[in-house]
Amino acid sequence: MIEFRGIEKIYPPNTVALQGVNLKINAGEFVSIVGQSGTGKTTLIKLLTAEERPTRGKITIGDWDITKIRRSEIPTLRRQIGVIFQDFKLLPKKTIFENVAFALEVCGASVGRIKTIVPQVLRIVGLDEKADRYPKQVSGGEQQRVAIARALIHRPKILVADEPTGNLDSINTREIADLLLKINEFGTTVLLVSHNRELVNSLRRRVVTLEQGTVISDQEVGKYVL
Amino acid sequence: MFAALFRIIKFSSQDFWRNFWLTTATVVVLVLTLVSINFLITLNFLTKTAVAQVEDKIDVSVYFKPGVAESEIGNIKSYLLSLSGVKDVIYVSPEEALRDFTKKHENDAVIKESLEEVGENPLGATLIVKAHDPADYPEILEVFDDAQYANIIQEKSFEDHEAIIKKIDSISEKAKSTGFGIAGLFAVVAVLIGFNTVRMTIYTHREEIGVMKLVGAANWFVRAPFLASGVFYGIFAVFFTILLTFPAIGFAEPYLAGFFGGAEFNLLGYFSQNFLQIFGWQFVGVVLLNIVTSSLAVGRYLKV
Ligand SMILES: Nc1ncnc2c1ncn2[C@@H]1O[C@H](COP(=O)(O)OP(=O)(O)OP(=O)(O)O)[C@@H](O)[C@H]1O
Ligand SMILES: [Mg+2]
């Protein structure tokens, strides 16, 4: 479903972030991407969401070649890829409900649709009871779950998580991991970037290891090898 | 679509109040720009009135010798009226001419005495010719140069006031270019402040904008609130300009009317009659100015 072919990314003037990356991810897979700091994991994700363009190579999603995607098509792409980050990126002045609703609002959804969909998604992440709280009034794990709810709001085929548990303790980490697995079970392809050896090993899923911008190992039921 | 439009208006109007001081500064310079443009319009109106008034005073007086038959003069009058450049011809009979003359010189003992000495009316009839346009006078004067009139015309007088008109024009030109300079300066300041306002707004909203892009909001949706705020600024700027302009005219009108001797002078009427045209265009202009400014700032600081 997702295919990176001969990908090279050089940040001007001469930082080589990725080099000769070939990677194929099937629909419905759960893939962890691991590697030391600065090996190009985030860059790989930015290429997928068209935040950056590859210097060389080709990226396809299904039969959509996004390598030379037009600016006007980027929003369509982003609605098909939910993304969450280490720092949640929630809006502090909006409640949990409003944070999730915002993603629908700015994409032109009707008030009626917002009122039906947001509670549904909040229920999936287990936060329907705390919908009226502000991000500061809930735990880090719960904040990340709000971010996941927001990422799921357009029913994306792909969910990308860049170090989602980087700021969380082990209990919250476990909860987020379970949630990601649950989402994957519903059929969403999940791409997880993580530094957490224990977490990655416990998932017993495919692990891709990057080193200095290239894939050095790709195991079906992988271990964190570094 | 309706929901999107509503949200764009909501987002941009929220900013309008949230950044109160920046908004105020932006609107104030826009108002100053518009006020100086209205000053130019007023100036233009004043010049036109003044020139029209002076032009109205221009005429050619043709003094006939005493004893020229009224019918002959009547023929000349009809002929003159048939000319395209002639607006009006007034016949002043010898009696009226004498009356005017004595009245004008009633305090002059010498003239009074000599008139009495002459006994009969020494004055002939007069034709006062007015042209549609000052440029037509040379042609009219030419008519009387004809030899056939040589022995019935005593004298022609033509005061063209050209020097005065030139003076009015040159004063108003100077005032206009100063006005344009001031309006231009305010417009530049308006662009700078507007640009900075949009930049600040983008900065204060960087998180929201980031989330919008993350979740796939359309590019135009991200930009639109900044452009919509241009319309808000336009509405407020024109509103306050109107609020300032009319009382200012009301205040100045009596003085100006006095200056023009009360003749056909109605600045307030001019602004009221052309209200839509004057302020409509100012609104369009201000909104365009703001949209250009916002687009510049958005293009520079909002990488969509
Ligand atoms: N915008 C940028 N401009 C220039 N260089 C960049 C930029 N973003 C990343 N880099 C460089 O590219 C390389 C890969 O960065 P990247 O963020 O992809 O690493 P990472 O694997 O996500 O690291 P981490 O685990 O610390 O998040 C690094 O050397 C980084 O300094
Ligand atoms: Mg990273």
Q: Decide: A20 in ligand 1 pocket, CB within 6 A.
A: no
Q: In this predicted structure, what is the pLDDT of residue A226?
A: 64
Percent of chain B with pLDDT over 70: 97
Q: Are residues B123 and B175 in the same domain?
A: no
Q: In this predicted structure, what is the pLDDT of residue B242?
A: 94
Best mean pLDDT range from B143-157, B167-181, B204-218: B204-218
Instruction: Compute the average pLDDT of residues A118-141.
Output: 94
Look at A50-59, A165-174, A186-195, B6-15 and tell me which has the smallest mean pLDDT. Answer: B6-15
Mean pLDDT, chain A, rounded, equals 93
3-state DSSP call for residue A116? helix
The residues facing A3 across adjacent strands are A24, A60
Domain A1-80+156-226: CATH superfamily is P-loop containing nucleotide triphosphate hydrolases (3.40.50.300)
pLDDT category at A24 given cuts 50, 70, 90 is very high
- Total domains in chain B come to 2
Q: String of b and e for B34-60 (b: at least 16 CB within 10 Å)?
A: bbbbbbbbbbebbbebbbeebbeebbb
Could you tell me which residues of chain A have a Cβ less than 8 Å from any Cβ in chain B?
71-72, 74-79, 83, 89, 91, 102-103, 105-111, 150-151, 153-154
Token pair 């994306």: residue = A156
Best mean pLDDT range from A20-34, B61-75, B119-133, B256-270: A20-34
Q: In this predicted structure, what is the pLDDT of residue B1?
A: 65
Nearest to A78 among B4, B207, B216 (CB): B216
Q: Are residues B174 and B283 in the same domain?
A: yes
Residues A66 and A59: their CA atoms lie apart, in Å, by: 6
Residues A108 and B282: their CA atoms lie apart, in Å, by: 33
pLDDT(B219) > 90: no
Please judge whether B215 and A150 are an interchain contact, meaning their C-beta atoms are less than 8 angstroms apart.
yes
Q: Decide: A15 in ligand 1 pocket, CB within 6 A.
A: yes
Q: Are residues B19 and B153 in the same domain?
A: no
Q: Are residues B154 and B170 in the same domain?
A: no
Q: Are residues B212 and B99 in the same domain?
A: no
Residues A19 and A116: their CA atoms lie apart, in Å, by: 45
Contact (CB, 8 A) for A32 and A15: no
Among the candidates B117, B144, B160, a domain finishes at: B160
Residue from A11, A34, A37, A208 to probe ligand 1 pocket by mutation (most atoms less than 8 Å from CB): A11
pLDDT(B2) > 80: no
Host domain of residue B103: 59-160
Q: How far is CA B49 from the centre of its chain?
A: 8
Among the candidates B160, B190, B225, a domain finishes at: B160
Look at A54-68, A72-86, A176-190, B224-238 and tell me which has the smallest mean pLDDT. Answer: B224-238
Nearest to A108 among B3, B207, B219 (CB): B3
**E strand or H helix that includes residue A156:** none
Q: How far is the CA of A39 from the centre of ligand 1 (A)?
A: 7
Q: In this predicted structure, what is the pLDDT of residue B256?
A: 82
CATH number at B76 reads: 3.30.70.3040
pLDDT(A114) > 60: yes
Which tops the pLDDT comparison, B34 or A225? Answer: B34
Name the minimum distance, in Å, from the CA of A106 to any CA of chain B.
5
Q: Are residues B209 and B175 in the same domain?
A: yes
What is the sign, positive or negative, of the torsion defined by CA atoms of A81, A85, A90, A96? Answer: positive
Any idea where the domains of chain A sit in the sequence? 1-80+156-226, 88-155
| B158-to-A1, B134, B148, B258 alpha-carbon distances in Å | 96, 11, 20, 28
Look at A52-61, A152-161, B32-41, B145-154 and tell me which has the smallest mean pLDDT. Answer: B145-154
Pick the ligand that lies closest to the CA of residue A14.
Answer: 1
Residue from A9, A32, A39 to probe ligand 1 pocket by mutation (most atoms less than 8 Å from CB): A39
Q: Decide: A37 in ligand 1 pocket, CB within 6 A.
A: yes
Q: Are residues B90 and B143 in the same domain?
A: yes
Among the candidates B103, B132, B160, a domain finishes at: B160
Reported as a single tens digit per residue, the pLDDT across A1-10 is 899 999 999 9
Q: In this predicted structure, what is the pLDDT of residue B263?
A: 63
Residues B92 and A43: their CA atoms lie apart, in Å, by: 99
Best mean pLDDT range from A30-34, B3-7, B77-81, B101-105: A30-34
Look at A60-74, B127-141, B272-286 and tell me which has the smallest mean pLDDT. Answer: B127-141
pLDDT(A169) > 70: yes
Q: Are residues B119 and B211 in the same domain?
A: no
Instruction: Compute the average pLDDT of residues A17-45.
Output: 94
Instruction: Compute the average pLDDT of residues A98-107.
Output: 93
- Output DSSP code: residue A126: T
Name the minimum distance, in Å, from the CA of A69 to any CA of chain B.
14
Q: Are residues B142 and B287 in the same domain?
A: no
Which tops the pLDDT comparison, A16 or B18? Answer: A16
Instruction: Compute the average pLDDT of residues A11-36.
Output: 94
| A30-to-A37, A217, A223 alpha-carbon distances in Å | 22, 16, 14
pLDDT category at B15 given cuts 50, 70, 90 is confident
**Chain A residues close to B222, C-beta within 8 Å:** 106
Reported as a single tens digit per residue, the pLDDT across B237-293 is 999 999 999 999 989 888 887 777 656 678 888 999 999 999 999 999 999 988 888
pLDDT category at B101 given cuts 50, 70, 90 is confident
Here the tokens at position A148 are: 């996941």
pLDDT(B161) > 90: no
- Output DSSP code: residue B242: H
